[in-house]
Structure 1
Amino acid sequence: SGNIISETRFPTTTPGETLDQAISFFRNLDVSLSGIGIACFGPVDLNKNSRTYGYITSTPKPGWENTDVVGRFKDVFGIPVGFDTDVNGAALGEGRWGAARELNTHLYITIGTGIGGGFVANGNILHGLVHPEMGHILLPHDRERDPYEGFCPFHQDCFEGLAAGPAIEGRWGEKAESLPVNHPAWELEAEYIAAALHIFLCTLSPQKVILGGGVMKQHHILPIVHRQLLESLNGYIQHPVVTGEIS
């Protein structure tokens, strides 16, 4: 039904400590559980025929590589455990209860400590060889105008490496929420986001794009992203969803 009966928040530390806290939360609920759904940062193994199904795999998060998430919960609770990426879970939630209800297709992108995306078509999350890693596409990077090298340990200056929260802090020496509205950081940040959205609009053609994450809480960046996206598309996609007002 989408009703929240209980919630908690705690920081992500070590695998043992973090998973223990999550397990304790479910143990202490005054309800009978028939199943548990986990939306987890990745990359993760979603192939149910794989011996490492339910594992976090080659993650940049220190200490979490090859962590068996699903196995821990199954061992403790002995009930079905659904498993997907955090952004896929958010995308599914937006389709069922949020900003994308009654749409056939939508794209959810989070821009925070990392960048990821989930695409939903006809109620189904897009899966394939693995799961989409939208934060790791490569974007144009003018190193003279933006000498920041990027922070991604795998690709350095991919979308995440150039535009996630740590990139903003690494480039400008301050966190996104500390930068004033008129700071040049926002034009550059919007440029990278718009370049990525150009790719996703042309390849996935979603009816709606939902932007979330800590960086996007700086709401003044939205009209800048929209302006730069329209400039980048140069009139190629003529649809009111793209050219009209944003919210």
Structure 2
Amino acid sequence: MLGAIEAGGTKFVCAVSDDQLNIVERISIPTETPTETLAQVFAFFDRYPIKSMGVGSFGPIDINEASATYGYITSTPKIKWQDVDLLGQLKARYDVPMAWTTDVNAAAYGELILGAANGKSSCLYLTIGTGVGGGAIVNGEILHGFGHPEMGHIKVKRMESDEFEGICPFHGDCVEGLVAGPALEARVGMKGQQVPENHYVWRTQAYYIAQALMNYSLVLSPEVIVLGGGVMHQQQLFPLIRKELKRLMADYVALPEMEAFVVPTMLGNNSGIIGCLALAKEKNNK
């Protein structure tokens, strides 16, 4: 059996599958304290003969294997999870090979293996929901270096008429501070799903999201960009983003046809857990 954990700030999704990534059982556990949450995680996996595991976690996390805090959740806003050795506690319980990455990296990998980027060697996955986070696959490998990408915190050019200060506690008007779900709600005073399709705010959202996609495209040159998260459930955003991205690029570099380049997630809420299972399979085969 392959094991997978998509560790989110709101819930932990745990799953086991066979070697073909067919999920045998999957559960969702509320993210409480580390002790409370891991007790339920262990109770789930103790019932299965796990031979490898993939873990994709909310962050920031330490992914540098040479670091003394490799496997830790580090400077997260979730106070009780700061400086928690999540990977270490899992390894102490289960003596199996484990893959360790961010939840968005895992989602990017899931979309590459079985989703909207299947058949490609590179892709970018961006989730726009409670926060904004991104993962990238380059030549079939998850992109990371000293640390992992924090794509939601890049700066973008402000719209001249936009006086909204942004909500990011670290950077104010970074991409996350301008377009995440809470920012959208703060702008218009209602949840995204309550906002009419023709409301001005969607063009504002598209303006900033397209800028971010332009920057990612110029640096990473992905074959496809997959957009997920609660905000992207608003399907009217996709044509607005594609149109704005094309305008911003101004034909400077050639991009794939826009409807095939900027696409919704194919796996939906399963992107991360499928990616974790695929990483577990990869670990088991090494």
Structure 1 residue matching 2:163: 3-state secondary structure: coil
Query: What does residue 242 of structure 2 align with?
Result: 226
Query: What does residue 128 of structure 1 align with?
Result: 145
Q: How does 1:89-238 map to 2 (within 5 A)?
A: 89-142=106-159, 145-238=161-254
Query: What does residue 88 of structure 2 align with?
Result: 71
Deviations 1:154-178 (A, max 9, x none): 1111111111111111222112122
CA contact (8 A) 2:224 2:260 kept: no
Higher relative contact order (CA 8 A, sep 6+): 2
TM-score with structure 1 length normalisation? 0.92
User: Aligned-pair distance for 1:243?
Assistant: 7.3
CA gap 1:237/1:56 in 2 versus in 1, 3 angstroms? same
Q: How does 1:83-94 map to 2 (within 5 A)?
A: 83-94=100-111
Whether 1:55 and 2:72 are equivalent positions in the alignment is yes
Moved over 3 A (4+): 242-247
Deviations 1:172-224 (A, max 9, x none): 21121221111111111111100100101111111111001111111111111
Whether 1:44 and 2:29 are equivalent positions in the alignment is no
User: Aligned-pair distance for 1:245?
Assistant: 8.0
Cα distance between partner residues in 2 of 1:215 and 1:11: 22
- Give the counterpart of 2:42 among 16, 20, 23: 23
Contiguous gaps of at least 5 residues in structure 2: 1-19, 264-286
Deviations 1:90-111 (A, max 9, x none): 1111111111122121111111
Structure 1 vs Structure 2: percent identity of aligned residues? Answer: 46
Cα distance between partner residues in 1 of 2:36 and 2:201: 36
Q: CA RMSD for the aligned pairs?
A: 1.8
Contiguous gaps of at least 5 residues in structure 1: none
CA gap 1:245/1:87 in 2 versus in 1, 3 angstroms? closer
Deviations 1:112-136 (A, max 9, x none): 1111111112210011121111011
User: Aligned-pair distance for 1:240?
Assistant: 3.7
Structure 2 residue matching 1:231: 3-state secondary structure: helix
Higher strand share: 2
User: Aligned-pair distance for 1:87?
Assistant: 0.5
TM-score with structure 2 length normalisation? 0.80
CA contact (8 A) 1:87 1:108 kept: yes
User: Aligned-pair distance for 1:244?
Assistant: 6.5
